[in-house]
């Protein structure tokens, strides 16, 4: 089940949901209260991708080894995302608030970013459509303010009990769903309907880089 965040610790592979074409990779390390994720994407995945276990050559990479490989994996126009995911579980108490339901949007914790920064604002905004997070019979939901083409963005994920982190085995899929939410508050209202024991809510702050060369410090 989801413990530290959306992704398996270490490397995972990102593939197109419709074709299975490789879209890139991500590398994750645990931090207190969540995860730090580094995504290397060969273009915009457009909310239609699966997260799978990594190729064998990446299965045991350390963070330093991942960082050393980034320049060789880079393609012109690739996207690099530094993402900090903070995890809030059903029934936990944060800042005196019991998460027996997800707080209103105006009271949600601020997103955290690499470097310790906080702000209010590798998914793309979908207008009034909520993003489906799919793993076998399990369904989660996500919502994004900003996307990978912006300098920064914030993602909100609500995942049910027993869903495994992406890259653990059964693919974790992303697809634009049918539910509607034109604002973060509307998204909170939607996910509170399925919020219960074992559920996890993640607030992920993303810093996004795009260029012909890999970032200087991946």
Predicted TM-score (pTM) of the model is 0.92
Instruction: Provide the 8-state DSSP code for 53.
Output: P
- Which residues 6+ apart lie within 8 Å of 83 measured at CB? 35, 36, 37, 38, 39, 122, 155, 204, 205, 206, 207
What are the angstrom distances between the C-alpha of 88 and each of 31, 33, 93, 129?
Answer: 14, 8, 9, 23
Each residue of 132-184: pLDDT tens digit? 999 999 999 999 988 888 888 899 999 999 899 999 988 899 999 989 998 99
What percentage of the chain exceeds 90 in pLDDT? 77
**Spatial distance between the Cα atoms of 90 and 99, rounded to a whole number of angstroms:** 5
Each residue of 179-190: pLDDT tens digit? 999 899 999 999
**Spatial distance between the Cα atoms of 112 and 115, rounded to a whole number of angstroms:** 9
Q: Contact, 8 vs 18, CB < 8 A? A: no
Q: Contact, 74 vs 214, CB < 8 A? A: yes
């Amino acid at each position: 089940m989801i413990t530290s965040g959306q992704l398996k610790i270490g490397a995972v592979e990102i593939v197109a949901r419709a074709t299975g074409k490789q879209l890139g990779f991500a590398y994750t390390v645990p931090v207190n209260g969540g995860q730090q994720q580094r995504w290397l994407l060969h273009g915009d995945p457009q909310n239609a991708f699966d997260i799978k276990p990594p190729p064998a050559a990446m299965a045991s990479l350390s963070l330093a080894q991942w960082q050393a490989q980034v320049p060789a994996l880079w393609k012109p126009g690739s996207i690099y995302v530094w993402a900090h995911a903070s995890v809030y579980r059903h029934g936990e108490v944060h800042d005196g608030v019991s998460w027996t339901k997800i707080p209103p949007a105006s009271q949600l914790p601020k997103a955290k970013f690499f470097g310790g920064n906080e702000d209010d604002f590798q998914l793309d905004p979908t207008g009034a459509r909520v993003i489906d997070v799919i793993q076998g019979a399990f369904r989660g939901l996500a919502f994004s303010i900003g996307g990978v083409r912006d300098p920064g963005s914030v993602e909100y994920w609500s995942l049910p009990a027993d869903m495994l982190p992406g890259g653990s085995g059964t693919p974790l899929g992303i697809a634009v769903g049918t539910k509607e939410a034109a604002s973060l508050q509307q998204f909170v209202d939607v996910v509170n309907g399925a919020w219960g024991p074992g559920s996890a809510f993640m607030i992920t702050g993303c810093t996004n880089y795009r260029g012909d060369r890999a970032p200087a410090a991946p």
